[in-house]
Amino acid sequence: MSQPQPEPLPLATPVRFLRKVGPQRAESFARLGVHTAGDLLEYFPRDHEFLPPVTALGELLPDAAGRRATVVGEILTQRYVARARPPRFELILSDGQEECRLIWFHGHYLRDQLRPGDRLAAWGKVSRYRESLQLVNPRWRKVEDLEDLDSLQRHGLAVYPASGELSSGQIAQVVQVNLEDLLAAAAEPYDQPFRSQRRLPTRREALAWIHQPPGAEHVAQARRRLAYDELFLLELAVALRREKLRRTQPACPLPLAAELDRRIRRRFPFLLTADQDRVIAEIAADMARAQPMNRLLQGDVGSGKTVVALYAALLAVGQHRQVALMAPTEILAEQHFLSLERYLHHSRVRRALLTGGLPSRQRTALLQQIRSGESDIVVGTQALLEKDVDFARLALVVVDEQHKFGVRQRQRLRGKDAAPHYLVMTATPIPRTLALTVFGDLDVSTIEHLPPGRRPITTRWYPPQRLPDAHEFMREKLRRGQQAYFVYPRVEELAGYEPTLFPDESSPPNAADAPGAGGGAPREPRSGYAAGPLKAAVAEHAVLQQQVFPDFRVGLLHGQMSRADKQRIMDDFRRRRLDVLVATVVIEVGVDVPNATIMVIEHADHFGLAQLHQLRGRIGRGTLPSYCLLFAEAPTEPAQRRLEILTQTTDGFRIAEEDLRLRGPGEFLGTAQHGLPELKVADLLRDTDLLRMAQRDAFEVAGRDPELSQPMHEVLRRTLHERFGENLLLADLA
């Protein structure tokens, strides 16, 4: 009679109750993000090492140099040489015929782990030291007999992300003794035909192979299945969200008539580009339907997205509906409002600006106008999301720089009887792989080309020593009536730091078409530039006004200023009452001054790639040649790569792809804000084909069973809720 099978270990079991863990080690696991049995099962190795062939020391002697091998023997002696530079731990290993020296630099931690008499397998690159063999910093494992070693060679060694408290070997040991119980609880969400069609092993097989691969080929199969699972679940969450929005609340259809199209186009003092016409047609087709539009409009800085958004807004207003346009900052909201004023001057369209800094009485009156339908287009910041903002006939929501807002935020503006159409815009182009994931619930429209007449921006990266050359180059442009920006990473200097003014610059070197192109030796930088604290906007404003540009008007703009002061400074710069604007990243988006042709960014290596591209987009908005001058030492390779990319291209889409490659998807957009989970196995750059297959499969499942209520989808439903919770608006799937 067969014995009854034990109940599978629940994956929610706290890790401290697993074998070889306990309370103290559980705290160490917690610091690695492993809290439960399920977390341990999905704490995947970062690499797998398959041992080189075991070779007798005598066979290695003739051609040892550079060869990878595994040696096995008994430890004869060991010692720690603390006074060596660097200090080292070394031992002598014998296989009974020959001897070999093993060395670990800074290996003091091995003194109590390896002792004479221990039987050891060590593997790595073999070299010669005088007349003997040696391995430097080899991997190692104690072995009792050849069977232990045979198992290691066949199954490989899983290398886990470790910590100072838990080594990879200790983590592997805990995984191995608990793996059978953990695998018993692994649920399979796909049936056999589904897996066969996609050439996927079972989830239990994949989990077993990733931790204890029978062979190297099994690692690739396991990785493919686990990567597919991650991508499929992400795409399914996105697909279900889209289906829910489509099916729950209908939108008000807003068909575009030929007469309305003519009236809207008369508002623009120029012909729209072919790209703008194409995306307008896509948006108008969406807005004509009874299902709410959810469309992402992406285009590089200065590509004309605002005009497209205004067209969509006027399409709604022309049919007696209201529009909300939401921006992440007051400066950008005010910029949009000024654009509306320029295009809608003398029109009957009623415009309003709602920001957090409005006086109480003015805000109350404005809220009443919105509630009664007297305001047609309301531009605002997150103040639009407050509970007391109540639209009478909201039909369109435009969200600019949407990556600054989370999913829930952009969905909080809802209509009364019908869902509004949603148009979300970004000047940070989204790589296609991310558009398929985080924004998979949005249809994507892209403006690929800049409007005619826009001049390319020349971007150069210089060491700080060349800064005086840039000053003279800028003086030449300022004398011609052009304007310039100086951008710094901080508002104020650190306590105790005082800037040192440059020496007299009355006789600077000549400049041609770019700083440093003329004669003259570069001047010495201000002391402490490279090694000292970061320069900051407030202190540098004084330096630039008092000594560098005393004959010009220099303004200061940063995020800690009052709303009124920021507005005043921007108005002065826009109306050419200021020649130079010293600023922080507060000007990153929305500032549009066509006469500004030069931007100097100091400590440019302290800015991200997308941020630098956004800052650069504040110039080159007119017909004059423009220059972006980056000053930085850039001591690290990633910083150097960012600056090199900026000098090579102004193509925002290429920059976005490079930014994704450098930073990874979570950091690219902000994991917590957008509901994008950490991808432990999948790689959005490498697994594009797998991602497309996962998206196709997920949207097919969501279309057939939008509630995941069918019995065959029970495991998917449970897994999805465990994985995402409410991160992607899936609370209703609990």
DSSP secondary structure of 389-425? ---SSEEEEEESSGGGS-HHHHHS---SSSBPEEEEE
pTM for the structure as a whole: 0.68
Question: Strands, E, within 300-390: which ranges?
Answer: 322-326, 351-354, 377-380
Q: Are residues 371 and 461 in the same domain?
A: no
Assigned domain for 709 exists: no
pLDDT recorded at residue 267:
92
Domain for residue 194, yes or no?
no
Residue 146 lies in a domain: yes
Task: Return the sign of the alpha-carbon dihedral for residues 674, 675, 680, 681.
Answer: negative
CATH code where residue 138 lies: 2.40.50.140
Residues 357 and 506 in one domain: no
Looking at 649, 674, 697, the residue that finishes a domain is: 649
For 56, residues 6+ apart whose C-beta sits below 8 A from its C-beta are 95, 97, 98
- Which regions of the chain are under pLDDT 50? 1, 403-405, 496-531, 669-675, 729-734
- Say what the pLDDT of residue 662 is: 78
Instruction: Provide the pLDDT for residue 596.
Output: 93
Beta strands at 443-447 and 294-299: parallel, antiparallel or unpaired: parallel
Residue 723 CB coordination number (10 Å) = 17
pLDDT of amino acid 62: 63
pLDDT per position as a tens digit, 272-328? 999 999 999 999 999 999 988 988 898 877 788 889 999 999 999 999 999 999 988
Residue 696 in any domain: the answer is no
Q: Please tell me whether residues 334 and 374 are part of one structural domain.
A: yes
CATH number, domain at 420? Answer: 3.40.50.300
In a domain, 44, yes or no: no
CA-CA distances (angstroms) from residue 565 to 357, 562, 701? Answer: 12, 5, 54
Distance, CA of 554 to chain centre: 35
Matching residue, tokens 């980056």: 630
Q: What is the pLDDT of residue 437?
A: 65
Instruction: Give the DSSP H or E segment for 105.
Output: strand 99-105
Cα gap 439→296, rounded to integer Å: 8
Return the sign of the alpha-carbon dihedral for residues 569, 570, 573, 576.
Answer: negative
Count of domains for the chain: 3
Query: What pLDDT is stored for residue 394 in this prediction?
Result: 93
**Strand runs labelled E in 130-224:** 132-136, 139-142, 157-159
The C-alpha atoms of residue 354 and residue 333 are separated, in whole angstroms, by 9
pLDDT at 145: 62
Is residue 2 in a domain? no
Asked if residue 384 and residue 507 are part of one domain, the reply reads no
Question: Do 504 and 395 lie in a common domain?
Answer: no
Domain residues for 526?
457-649
**Same domain assignment for residues 496 and 609:** yes
Q: Are residues 488 and 614 both part of a single domain? A: yes
Residues 323, 277, single domain; the answer is yes
| Residue 518 near residue 616 (C-beta atoms within 8 A) | no
Report if residue 45 sits inside a domain: no
**What is the C-alpha separation between 559 and 546, in angstroms, rounded?**
23
pLDDT by residue (tens digit) across 588-643? Answer: 665 778 899 999 999 999 888 888 988 898 898 888 899 999 999 888 888 888 89
Same domain, 381 and 478: no
Distance, CA of 674 to CA of 724 (rounded, Å)? 11
Residues 357 and 482 in one domain: no
In a domain, 381, yes or no: yes
Of the three residues 614, 649, 684, the one that is the final residue of a domain is 649
461 and 422 within one domain: no
Question: Based on the domain organization, do 530 and 398 belong to the same domain?
Answer: no
Boundary of a domain, candidates 649, 669, 694: 649
